[in-house]
Amino acid sequence: MVLITARVETPEGIDVDAQTVPVALITLFEGWPTALLATTLPAAYRVWLGGSDAWASVLSVGAAAAAGSLAHVWARRDGGVGPRHALALSVVVFLTTFASFALLDPGGLVLFGRAWLPLLAISVVGIGLVGRLFHDVVKHAEAVDAHARFRTIIDEASDAIRIVDPNTLTILDVNRRDCEISGYAREALIGRDVRTFWPDEPDFRARREATIAEARDHGFARAFSTPYRRASGELIRVDSTRRIVNHHGRRYEIVIYRESAEREAAETAQREAADLRAVALLASAAAHEINNPLTVVVGSLELLSRHVGADNQERRWLDRANAAARRIRDIVARMTRITRIERSEARPGLPPMLDIHKSSDIESSEAP
């Protein structure tokens, strides 16, 4: 609407306006729904101003919106607005402007012949070049949005992510989890040499050097339970993967790591579960094999006790044998109810042994 009223006077004394330029640009980048809104108000305003050329001006704006809508569809199929879309639209808008002059009285074409060069300049510069500028602005906004999306994704990752220059070992970027594990703020980490996080022991530093060399040679390396120095000076163990990537001719090292404690705890639990299963299977098999002869022994002792007097030496021997049999039966019962692995206190000259009393849960299993 401003461009309709703020006309430009050519050297020939002809007033021209650039009302089709913003309509075409808006439609090119936003599509027909926005074009409908962008053309309604200027068209209504032009009709309100009146004049013999009002309807020709309205048709010119509508034609620019229609051409912009078609160019928008074309640009979307090509993946975005480019220079060819903007320049092609500028030519079409210039032709629609010519058509609008042709709708005027017989002097319309004569008037167009005197103003065609300024109109062409307005269309090419206003749509072609400004469209290219808008394209760059849109691309910049998309790049900013992509960077913000990338930052959000890596900051929400459960693992620490660190981007390093493989030539200088300088930290280029980190995520939030890296800051939490290292104990440094992001500003303090960026620009720091990764070797400051290595322990001082030569063996540990040699392991780090070997991992980095492997990543450089093969593009990928993995390390487990590597010592890592935090900001407080505490040494923790971490599991890490390193991958070398190329982006726009520059090499980057992507390091993803996490504390080893969780993995080590899970592996310990797996080993303990496997050990418990093996011990339980062995104990059940041994208990079954012991129970068979034990039943015979207990039955035989019961039969002998019926033929031995209460006060002689044989009775005392039988009582001791029955007590030992009951003890064996108790041990066998505990062997079938092993729920954990508890070792007995080590004695000199003896290997570690399973403490059956501590490892079984016979009391709770017999509870009602």
pLDDT digits (tens, 9 = 90+) for 154-199: 899 999 999 999 999 999 999 999 999 999 999 999 999 999 999 8
SS3 content of the chain, % helix, strand, coil (to 5): 65, 15, 20
**Does the structure show a pLDDT above 60 at 8?**
no
Same domain, 294 and 225: no
Position 106 scores a pLDDT of 62
Position 101 scores a pLDDT of 65
Domain that holds residue 336: 264-365
The answer to whether residues 39 and 24 touch, using CB atoms and an 8 Å cutoff, is no
Range of 3-12, 304-313, 329-338 with top mean pLDDT: 329-338
Same domain, 128 and 164: no
Identify the band that residue 365 occupies on the pLDDT scale cut at 50, 70 and 90.
very low
Range of 76-90, 208-222, 352-366 with top mean pLDDT: 208-222
CA distances from 96 to 16, 39, 63, 208, 324 (A): 15, 15, 6, 69, 113
Q: What residues contact 295, with CB distance under 8 A and at least 6 apart?
A: none
- Residue 307 and residue 268: Cα distance in Å, rounded? 57
Region label for 185, one of left (φ > 0), alpha (ψ between -120 and 50) or beta (otherwise): beta
Same domain, 32 and 106: yes
Burial label, 133 (beta-carbon count in 10 A; 0-12, 13-18, 19+): exposed
Same domain, 268 and 235: no
How far apart are the two ends of the chain, measured CA to CA in Å?
Answer: 90
Task: Give the relative orientation of helices 130-155 and 20-30 as an angle to the nearest 10 degrees.
Answer: 30
Per-residue model confidence as pLDDT tens digits over 231-267:
999 999 999 999 999 988 899 999 999 999 989 998 9
**Does the structure show a pLDDT above 90 at 33?**
no
Per-residue model confidence as pLDDT tens digits over 114-128:
666 666 777 777 777
- Residue 339 and residue 360: Cα distance in Å, rounded? 6
- The candidate with the shortest Cα–Cα distance to 57, out of 107, 11, 108, is 108
Position 109 scores a pLDDT of 59
pLDDT averaged over every residue in the chain = 81
Same domain, 15 and 102: yes
The answer to whether residues 18 and 94 touch, using CB atoms and an 8 Å cutoff, is no
Same domain, 71 and 203: no
The mean per-residue pLDDT over the stretch 99-109 comes to: 64
Per-residue model confidence as pLDDT tens digits over 314-332:
888 888 898 998 889 888 8
* Percent of the chain whose predicted confidence (pLDDT) is above 90: 25
Q: Residue 81: what residue type?
A: V
Same domain, 172 and 252: yes
Position 254 scores a pLDDT of 95
Same domain, 244 and 270: no
Per-residue model confidence as pLDDT tens digits over 272-311:
889 888 888 888 888 888 888 888 888 888 888 887 777 7
Q: How many domains does the chain have?
A: 3
Helix (H, G, I), strand (E, B) or coil at 348: coil
